[in-house]
């Protein structure tokens, strides 16, 4: 889903996305537009529209325009090709707008107190257009999983035998260029994990759940060295 178009950011207008769980239907703001002098021709209005997922106007959609001290419901009922609804913006009035009927993005800080630009856009004579569209909240992309080819997972460094294993395997690990350490969470990012020393069942369960190929290495030092020759 592409980002909304907001060419009114330079005028302080902002889109506040609604927060809904994945799979939830909601109103998404797809466009906020500050009318050019030629488009505006001296007006001071908020022009609104609401679309279905295919981009067709949804007649009868209700929107709520709020300002300090008041609010007003606006209905999308104008014929094409004109905007679906409009609401006048008055001097010093600062408004927000959102669609009703289901969760909705909100557009804030809409007002006409902007300097003269050219005939058609002068102080207190600026207009904005906001378009909402029905959408379904998507699931966030999965976190990237760094996959290592092979990780050697040692038991806790507090265990006395761990130092022995590290000393025995130092040359082998360096020659093979293997990743190694003591953190099961880090090991779970590898396709293949070799276990050195005694590990709790919780560690094995974590690695199995991550889809790692797990291989315990011998705990007897002589057998361990023999295996790695």
Going by their DSSP bridges, the two strands 95-99 and 106-110 should be labelled as antiparallel
Q: What is the mean pLDDT of residues 47-54?
A: 97
**CA–CA separation, 187 and 1 (whole Å):** 34
Q: What is the average per-residue pLDDT within 161-184?
A: 90
pLDDT tens per residue across span 72-105: 999 999 999 999 999 999 999 999 999 999 999 9
- DSSP secondary structure letter of residue 219: S
Q: Which fold has domain 148-228?
A: Rossmann fold (3.40.50)
- Out of 46-60, 115-129, 133-147, least confident range: 133-147
Q: Strand order in 14-16's β-sheet?
A: 14-16, 106-110, 95-99, 62-67, 70-75
Average pLDDT over residues 40-68: 97
Residue 145: what pLDDT?
A: 57
Which residue, among 108, 117, 128, has the nearest Cα to 35 in the 3D structure?
Answer: 128
pLDDT of 143 over the 90 cut? no
The CATH superfamily of 5-136 is: Immunoglobulins (2.60.40.10)
pLDDT (mean) for 1-19: 92
Q: Of 3 and 105, which is predicted with more confidence?
A: 105
Give the number of other Cβ atoms within 10 Å of residue 176's Cβ: 13
Q: At 160, is the pLDDT very low, low, confident or very high (cuts 50, 70, 90)?
A: confident
User: Given a cut of 90, is residue 119 above it in pLDDT?
Assistant: yes
Highest mean pLDDT among 65-74, 166-175, 206-215 belongs to 65-74
Structure confidence at residue 146 (pLDDT): 57
Q: Residue 8 pLDDT more than 90?
A: yes
Residue 38 has pLDDT above 70, yes or no: yes
- pLDDT computed for residue 225 by the predictor: 83
With 90 as the cut, is the pLDDT of residue 40 above it?
yes
Predicted confidence band of residue 227 (pLDDT cuts 50, 70, 90): confident
User: Quick one: average pLDDT of 191-210?
Assistant: 91
pLDDT at 142: 57
* pTM exceeds 0.95: no
- Domain residue extents for the chain: 5-136, 148-228
Read off the pLDDT of residues 161-170 as tens digits, 9 standing for 90 and up: 888 999 989 8
What share of the chain has pLDDT > 70, as a percent?
97
- Cα distance between residue 129 and residue 82, in whole Å: 12
81 preceded by cis ω (within 30°)?
yes
Whether the pLDDT of residue 182 is over 60: the answer is yes
- Rounded to a whole number of angstroms, the distance between the first and last alpha carbons of the chain is 54
């Amino acid at each position: 889903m592409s980002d909304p178009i907001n060419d009114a950011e330079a005028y302080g207008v902002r889109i506040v996305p609604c927060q809904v769980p994945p799979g939830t239907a909601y109103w998404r703001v797809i466009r906020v537009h500050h009318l050019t002098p030629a488009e505006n021709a001296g007006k001071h209005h908020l022009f609104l529209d609401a679309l279905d997922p295919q981009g067709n106007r949804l007649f009868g959609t209700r929107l709520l325009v709020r300002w300090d001290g008041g609010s007003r419901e606006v209905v999308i009922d104008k014929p094409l090709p004109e905007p679906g609804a409009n609401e006048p913006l008055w001097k010093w009035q600062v408004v927000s707008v959102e669609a009703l009927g289901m969760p909705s993005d909100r557009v804030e800080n809409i007002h006409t107190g902007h300097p003269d630009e050219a005939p058609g856009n002068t102080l207190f004579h600026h207009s904005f257009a906001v378009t909402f569209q029905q959408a379904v909240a998507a699931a966030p992309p999965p976190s990237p999983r760094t996959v290592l080819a092979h990780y050697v997972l040692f038991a806790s460094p507090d265990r006395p035998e761990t130092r022995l294993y590290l000393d025995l395997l130092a040359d082998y690990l360096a020659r093979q260029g293997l990743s190694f350490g003591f953190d099961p969470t880090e090991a779970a990012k590898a396709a293949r994990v070799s276990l050195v020393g005694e590990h709790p069942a919780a560690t094995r369960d974590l690695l199995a759940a991550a889809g790692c190929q797990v291989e315990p290495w011998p705990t007897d030092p002589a057998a361990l060295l023999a295996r790695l020759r």
